Amino acid sequence: MSLDLNNHSHRRWNPLTGEWVQVSPHRAKRPWQGQEEETPGEQKPQYDPECYLCPGNDRAGDASNPDYDSTFVFTNDFSALKPDVPSDKVNTDDLLVAKGEKGICRVICFSPRHDLTLPEMELKQIRDVVDLWTTEYKELGDRDYINYVQIFENKGEIMGCSNPHPHGQIWAQDTIPDEPAKELTQQREYYKKHGNTLLSDYLELELERDERVVVSNEHFVVVVPYWAFWPFETLLISRRPFGRFTDMTEAEKEGLADIVKQITVKFDNIFEVSFPYSAGFHPAPTDGKEHPEWHFHMHFYPPLLRSATVK
């Protein structure tokens, strides 16, 4: 009997992180008697006077928002990372180890309208968001102590999003976080061995097979990765190998806005709800080094399994 990947339990290799993923396709057929989530109400006002992200409203302390009419970015009032932290290290017997971590956290409001999400925004409005992502990546990454800039969005209450106003976050910090660090190691080793970026060769393979391609345009492709951990997990990959937001051409920025809209609309249409997810870009580190091995990409991790209420 040969291995049937559609029915037999098996492990799949994630070449981006160097880890194995357990896959048990037969378990998707089991009846569900577990917890089901309530779908949140979809009616939201265009402006909420109680929302701390809406234009003109007060935030924490004495801070208040300007009457912005496009995108808006500010340093998080409750930042997880601070720039004035000492870099001291604590080590007790190599068991109790800690180290100070400098950084900056910012919030990006995608739109002044409280009732919109990315798939509901016009393409031009999403392009404005792409431009702001690029500006923030460069401005923060140019700082001497910032070696990685994470740009991400947690969408939906079940993803822990504390405010429904359309927004994302930026964490810029001294240390390259664990997941990008794993990807750096794997991409570097692959590049040394093959002379191409790992994701260039992987994307070529996916396009040839055309089994897991979800949406695409001239500059970007979204696939369900072969090593996906979640049913609706997707990976956005640039067709041209580049590492940084600042490497994008104007046409590629337009393409990124378009592909983000395409995939988020697809998500919303699966169960006809505002689809929750955790999504984040993995650009090249901003450590002042050249990174020819790095290939620009973005991960989407939706929690839903088989309906709008099962996660």
SS3 assignment for the chain: CCCCCCCCCEEEEECCCCEEEEECHHHHHCCCCCCCCCCCCCCCCCCCCCCCCCCCCECCCCCECCCCCCCEEEECCCCCCECCCCCCEEEECCCEEEECCEEEEEEEECCCCCCCCHHHCCHHHHHHHHHHHHHHHHHHHCCCCCCEEEEEEEECHHHCCCCCCCEEEEEEECCCCHHHHHHHHHHHHHHHHHCCCHHHHHHHHHHHHCCCEEEECCCEEEECCCCCCCCCCEEEEECCCCCCHHHCCHHHHHHHHHHHHHHHHHHHHHHCCCCCEEEEEECCCCCCCCCCCCCCEEEEECCCCCCCCCC
Would you kindly state where each structural domain of the chain is located, as residue ranges? 45-301
Given this model, what pLDDT does residue 108 score? 98
pLDDT of 274 reads 85
pLDDT of residue 41: 56
Q: Is the pTM of this model over 0.85?
A: yes
pLDDT at 110: 98
pLDDT of residue 32: 45
Q: Which of 165, 167, 295, 299 is catalytic?
A: 167
Residue 202 has what pLDDT?
A: 99
10-residue block means of pLDDT along the chain (311 residues)?
81 97 75 51 85 94 93 95 92 93 98 96 98 99 98 80 88 98 99 99 98 98 96 97 99 99 95 90 98 98 66 44
At 62 the pLDDT is 83
Q: Is 167 known to be catalytic? A: yes
Q: Does domain 45-301 have CATH number 1.20.1440.230?
A: no
- State the pLDDT at residue 87: 85
